[in-house]
Every structure is written in C-alpha cells, then in structure tokens.
A and B are shown apart, each in its own frame.
Chain A
Amino acid sequence: MIELDCRGLPCPRPVIELARQILAVEVGEVLAVVADDPAAAYDIPAWCRMREQEYVGADLADDGVPRYLVRRLG
C-alpha cells in the first residue's frame, strides 16, 4: 500500500497531496495518508465524497499519527 507522509503539513496540503497521488494507485487499491493536521480528519472524508472516491476509515501509524485510508474508485 502506498503511504503518503503528510506529517507537519497544514491544511489543505494533505488533501492536495491525496488528490495528486490518488492516480498513482490502481482502481480498487487503497492509498494511505498519514497526517497530523486536525482538519484532515474531516476533509479527507469530505474529499472522498466530493471526488467520488471511497473513504475506508482511519487507523494510526506506528508513531501514533492518524492514517486515513482511501480506495480509488475511478
């Protein structure tokens, strides 16, 4: 799974990185975004809804930073 390291990036940078890199994964595959920006918790699901991708959920990276999982649908 491709993992984007967005630690330390303020909003809206994690969402911008997600939008840029989603094309790097195949349709049906999952891209992970590791981001400590508190807005990412809301804006990554919102991005998925607006861009018609699937928000899979969130877990934690090894260092405890939230990791958001997005499946490319198209």
Chain B
Amino acid sequence: MGDGGYLDSASSEPLHPAAREAMLAALDQGYADPRRLHPPARNARLILDNAREAVAEALGVRRDEVSFTSSGTDAVHRGLLGLLPPGATVAHAAVEHSAVLHALAWRPDLKLRSLPVDATGRVDAERLGTYDVLALQDANHEVGTIQPAVGVGTVFRDACASMGRVPLREGWSAAAGSAHKWGGPAGVGVLLVRQGVRWRNPFPADDRVDGRVSGFENVPAALGAAAALQAVVAERDLVNARQHALVDRIRAAVARIPDTEVVGDAVVRLPHLVTFSFLYVDGEAIVDALARRGFSVASGSACTASTLEPSHVLAAMGALTHGNLRVSLTRDATETEVNAFLAVLPEVVAEIRRDVGM
C-alpha cells in the first residue's frame, strides 16, 4: 500500500488498521459459541451483535437486515437465490459479476434475460423490460461504472465492488458486500435482506444465531469487517476525492499512449479504479513487465490460453479485451506512487509492442 506499488485494491484492499485493532482484541474475547448461555459465549454474542450494529449504522440499514456470510460470493448467492421463486424471470445486467451469473445458471428453472449495456458499461434504465426479479450491481467491479438506482419490485443489488466506498443504491430487496474489498478481512461477506421482503434461505438451514446463514460465525473477523467499514465510511469524503483525482490523472495520461482505449464512465464511477486496454499487447506480458518494475496490477484479458474466454464485461461493452489492465488505488495511494506508475507505463507498452513487431 502507499508507495509500495500495489495497484490492485479492487481485488483486495490491504487490511485497515481499524480492522486489525478490532480483530486482535476480538480474537481473545470472541472464541466461544455465541449461541451458548455462559459468560464466554455471551462475550462472543456481544461482539457479533456489536459488529452487526456497526455495519447497520455504517450502511444506514436496520440491524436485523444485516447478516455475516463466509464471503462476498456467498452473500451474492444467498441474497439473490433467496429472492427467486421457481420459474422466475430474472433480468440481469450483461456485466454482472460471475458470482451472480453462476448463481443464476445454477437454477435451470429460471428464465434469464441479459440486459445490454452501453459503451460505458451501464444498463439503459428505460429498457429494463418486465421481470420478476432484477439483478443489478451497484457498480461494476472491472470498469467502475456506477449503475443507475433503478428497478421496481424485487431487486437484488450486488454491492461487492462498492460497499463502504459509496452509499448503497436505493431500491434493494437484498444486497451483498465483501469485506476484503473495503479493507476488512477476507472470508466475511455482508448480506442485506430488506425487512418485509419475501426471501427464503436457498441452502440447507442451520441452527445458528442468524437463520439466513450457516456455519459457526467468524466472530473476530465480523468485528474487523465492521470496524473497517465504519472507518472507511467516515473517511470516504476525503479518500474518495483524492482517489477520484488520481484516477483522472491516470485516465488522461493513459489516453495519450497510442492505440489505447480507456473504458468505463469517466465521472459516474467508483473513485479508486480504472481499466484500459492496449492494442497488440498481451495481458499477461504487461502484468509481468509491470511486476518486474514493482507494480502489482490486475488484467481482465485471457490471452494466456486460447481456450479461456475474454472478460464478459469488456465484451458486453464492445471494448477491446486484450492488453487489458485494471488499476485500482488503495486508500493510502499517493501522487508519488501514481506518477511512478505513469512514468514507466508508456515504455512498458512500447517494449511489448516492439517485441511483437508493432
């Protein structure tokens, strides 16, 4: 983080100090089974309840609408599948995360309708058509474009890329978040189910504190996730403004590299990430070349094996799928770090193009 060249916070944000502090305390206090009635169990239960309360407050939702799952993916699966009656018609953005698409594919009884997106990756709010359930991400995980707060009736919102960073989009029936994307620990997801919504646990029931989830709660991690979320929400006005401006600099500088496409909405977007593609460049080659220079960056390209499909997000946007990089800033990202990256990027691209004779 900071000046260390880690530019992949959209895959996983480094642990927030507030999470570390909360988890260290809870590791010693939160070991017991929160369902039991003895004092150590009551400690664990208290920690879990505090975590739930803190998440509810940070997100502006009710405490009883919050569940802790074992991951963001698990929150997506439970949140979405729990809303879907047999044979339901589901409209979903073509650019939904694969966790959403895999959950829908798992239910052969559903009638699926994929909503096309424009060149920025956004669905057309006027053309949602008819559906029983709408599955629409709050913001796209690859390109950062924020989707409109649309949809009437039953709506599932995947907020894994955005939770904590920007307020939840209005109108959700159920929603999902992922703690390690905001600086909490991995292995904690947040499932929100709106009070009064018809939602049924799609998986085998378990006799835990919270009937929406299964398995023994990771109490210290839940508290760490909650502490990080509170801190991120408290800091976000400052952090977002800084990140937004740094990403603007990256977008402008990258656009000056020849035969390059910067994708995603330039303005209505997540503050910390940007995606671009370079013609004639192999995605793995550029990730490796940047890693040798100390920069850790993700790629949505699938050039490494011809059997791999390219990013369905970039494909749906009509964007170039090869030579793709996703740069995402940590909360501590500095101008120095961004400048250092931008200083090496044009030469790295030129070198790879030279190697293939372009």
Contacts and interface: CB of A to CB of B under 8 A. Distances in A.
A15 interface: yes
Given A19-B280, A50-B261, A50-B279, A11 B318 contact: no
Interface string B289-306: 000000000000111111
21 contacts: A10-B305, A10-B306, A11-B302, A11-B322, A12-B282, A12-B323, A13-B356, A15-B280, A16-B356, A16-B357, A38-B302, A38-B307, A38-B310, A39-B302, A39-B310, A42-B310, A42-B314, A42-B318, A46-B319, A46-B321, A49-B318
A42 B321 contact: yes
Given A43-B321, A50-B320, A11 B357 contact: no
Contacts of A38: 302, 306-310
A36 B306 contact: yes
The 6 closest A-B CB pairs, nearest first, are A12-B322, A46-B320, A39-B310, A10-B306, A11-B303, A11-B322
Given A20-B358, A51-B259, 10 more contacts: A9-B306, A11-B322, A12-B281, A12-B323, A16-B358, A20-B357, A38-B306, A39-B322, A43-B321, A51-B279
A29 B322 CA distance: 26
Interface string A15-44: 110011000000000000000111101110
A10 B306 CA distance: 5
B217 to A, nearest CB: 42
B315 interface: yes
Nearest to B319: A46
A46 B305 contact: no
Interface of B: 259, 261, 279-282, 301-310, 314-315, 318-323, 356-358
Contacts of B281: 12
A46 B301 CA distance: 14
Given A15-B280, A19-B280, A45 B318 contact: yes
Nearest to A10: B306
Interface of B is mostly: loop
Nearest to B309: A38
B117 to A, nearest CB: 14
A12 B319 contact: no
A50 B306 contact: no
Nearest to B314: A42
Given A11-B322, A39-B321, A16 B304 contact: no
Contacts of B308: 38
A34 B265 CA distance: 33
Contacts of B315: 41-42
A8 interface: yes
Nearest to A7: B306
B348 to A, nearest CB: 15
A20 B106 CA distance: 44
A11 B310 contact: yes
A13 B304 CA distance: 11
A16 B309 CA distance: 19
Given A16-B358, A39-B321, A42-B321, A11 B306 contact: yes
Contacts of B319: 42, 46
Given A39-B321, A50-B320, A12 B280 contact: yes
Contacts of A13: 356
Contacts of A36: 306
B280 A8 contact: no
Nearest to B312: A42
B337 to A, nearest CB: 28
Contacts of B318: 42, 45-46, 49
B310 to A, nearest CB: 4
